[in-house]
Amino acid sequence: MSFVEFADVCKTYHMGDVEVHAVAGMNFCVERGELVVIVGPSGAGKTTVLNMLGGMDSATSGTIMLDGIEVSALGEYELTQYRRHDIGFVFQFYNLVQNLTALENVELASQICADPLPAADVLAQVGLAHRMDNFPAQLSGGEQQRVAIARALAKNPKLLLCDEPTGALDYLTGKQILKLLQDTCRSTGKTVAIVTHNLAFTQIADRVIHVREGRADQVSTNPHPADALTVEW
């Protein structure tokens, strides 16, 4: 049994009278410790997949399993607990609390979960030991994203979900973030899932899931993923 399993997962939105099938029968598996890249064009349903996997959204039908938990069957409260203890999120726009310093933003997450990592260590790990007491507004975009990653990691989640983590960043910074994510996966053995429209990212992945029109069009594994810094796009 795989670490993550999607079995016939569907997600239908009702926009007025129109039914939109964002995900229509998604099937794939991910193994523990893999760096997974979910790739596809805009509107293919990749973010929906991520949201459902992260417990932010629920599937209309089908089964989502994570480490033996049937996520698709969880109620609202259990989903909250699931997000709280098992999942780390990294967003395109960082979503830091403006009124808290870098360290406090990390603590915000670590304070609520059961087995957190020391906030300062995690920040140091992402290379921000010197900016810990700065407010988000005082940090660059890359730095803010690092804080966001640190915040996700500090929770010591089972799965790190990243939605276009480099989307708002320039090329170099993006690469560094990507590198950070890859390193994190390698060094901590955490399963990391990155959603992107950038096919270049597939080079660094252990497993690549191509999503098209709400389905996993193609799932491939990459026996020799490239180093993030070498990737060009």
Partner 1 sequence: MRGLRATAFTKTILRSIRGSLGRFLAILGIVALGCGFFAGLLMSGPDMRAAANELYDGTNLYDLRLVSTLGFTEKDVERVRQTEGIAGIMPAISCDVMARLGKEQLAMRMSSLDVDAARDGEEQGASVVLSADGNYLNRVFLREGRWPQAADECVLTADKPVVDVGVGSSIEVLFGTVDLGDVLRERTFRVVGLVSASNYPYTGSFGSTTLGSGMIGQYAFVSPAAFVEDAPFTEIYLRVAGASAYESGSDAYQAVVDEVTDRLEQMTPALASARLGDVRAEAQDEVDEGREEYQTEKEKAQRELDDARRKLDDAKRELEDGERELADGWSEYEDGKAELDQKREEAEEQLADAERQLESGAAELDRSAAELERGAQQLGQGRKVFESGKAKLLEQLGAKDLQGAKKTLQGQREEAEQGIAGLEAAQGGAQRIVDGREALAQGRQEAEQGRAAWEAGRDQLLAGLAAQGMAVTSVGEACAALEQAIAQQQAAGAPEQMLAPLREALAQAQQLAEADERLSRGEEELDQAESELAEGERQLLAELAAQGIEAADASAAVEQLAQRSEQAHSGIAQIDEGLAGIERLESAQTELSQNAKAIEDGRRQIADGRAQLAAGREEFEEQRADAYRQLDEAQELLDDALRELEDGRRKLEDGRREYADGLVEYEDGKREADEELADAQRQLDDAQKKVDELELPDIYVLDRTKSEGAVTYHDDSLRIDSIARVFPFMFFLVSALVALTTMTRMVEDDRILIGTYKALGYSTSRIASKYLWYAGLASATGATLGILVLSQVLPFIITSSYSIVYTVPLHPLPLPIDPLIALASGGLGVGLTLVATWAAVVASLREVPATLMLPRAPASGKRILLERVGPVWRRLSFSWKVTCRNLFRYKRRLAMTVVGISGCTALLLVGFGLHDAIWDIIDGQYGPIIHYDTTVGLDDDATEIDVARVIDVLEGTGEVSGIERVQQENMQAGTDGNGPTLRVQVIIPRSASELGRSVTLRTRVGHEPIAFDESSVVVTEKIALKYGVVPGDEIVLFDQDTIGNIKGSGHRLKVSGVAENYVGNLVYVGREAWKAVDDAQPVFSTIHCSTTPGEEVRANLASMLRECEDVSTVVFSDETINLYRNMLSVVDLVVVLLIVSAGLLAFIVLYNLTNINVEERVREIASLKVLGFTKGEVYAYVYREIALLAVLGDVLGMALGTYLASFVITTAEVDYVMFGRTIHAPSYLYSFVITLVFVGVVMLLMRPKLDRVNMVESLKSVD
Taking each helix axis as running N to C, give the angle between helix 141-154 and helix 102-110, from 0 to 180 degrees, rounded to the nearest 10.
Answer: 20
Using the minimum distance from each CB to partner 1, give the nearer residue, 69 or 219: 69
Q: How far is the CB of 95 from partner 1 (least distance, A)?
A: 4
Taking each helix axis as running N to C, give the angle between helix 171-188 and helix 141-154, from 0 to 180 degrees, rounded to the nearest 10.
Answer: 20
140 binds partner 1 (CB under 8 A): no
Instruction: Out of 8, 41, 43, 95, point to the residue binding partner 1 (CB under 8 A).
Output: 95
How many residues touch partner 1 (CB under 8 A)?
35
Q: Are 94 and 108 in contact (CB under 8 A)?
A: no
For the beta carbon of residue 1, count every other beta carbon within 10 angstroms. 7
Instruction: Out of 137, 187, 224, 232, point to the residue binding partner 1 (CB under 8 A).
Output: 137
Report how many helices (DSSP H) and strands (DSSP E) the chain contains, helices first: 6, 10
98 binds partner 1 (CB under 8 A): yes
6 binds partner 1 (CB under 8 A): no
Instruction: Out of 11, 46, 83, 146, point to the residue binding partner 1 (CB under 8 A).
Output: 83
Nearest to 200 by CA among 170, 227, 160, 173: 227
72 to 51, 52, 62, 66, 163: CA distances (angstroms):
12, 8, 7, 10, 20
Q: How far is the CB of 123 from partner 1 (least distance, A)?
A: 15
Q: How far is the CB of 141 from partner 1 (least distance, A)?
A: 12
Pick the stretch among 37-45, 64-72, 80-88, 175-183 that binds partner 1 (CB under 8 A): 80-88
Q: What is the chain's alpha carbon radius of gyration, rounded to the nearest angstrom? A: 17
Using the minimum distance from each CB to partner 1, give the nearer residue, 34 or 57: 57
What are the backbone angles phi and psi of residue 215, rounded to the nearest 5°? -130, 155
Query: Which residues make Cβ contacts (< 8 Å) with residue 89, sequence separation at least 6?
Result: 54, 83, 152, 161, 162, 163
61 binds partner 1 (CB under 8 A): no
Stretch 143-172 residues interacting with partner 1 (CB under 8 A): 151, 155
Site for partner 1, rule CB under 8 A: 51, 54, 56-57, 77, 80-85, 87, 89, 91, 93, 95-101, 104, 107-109, 111-113, 135-138, 151, 155
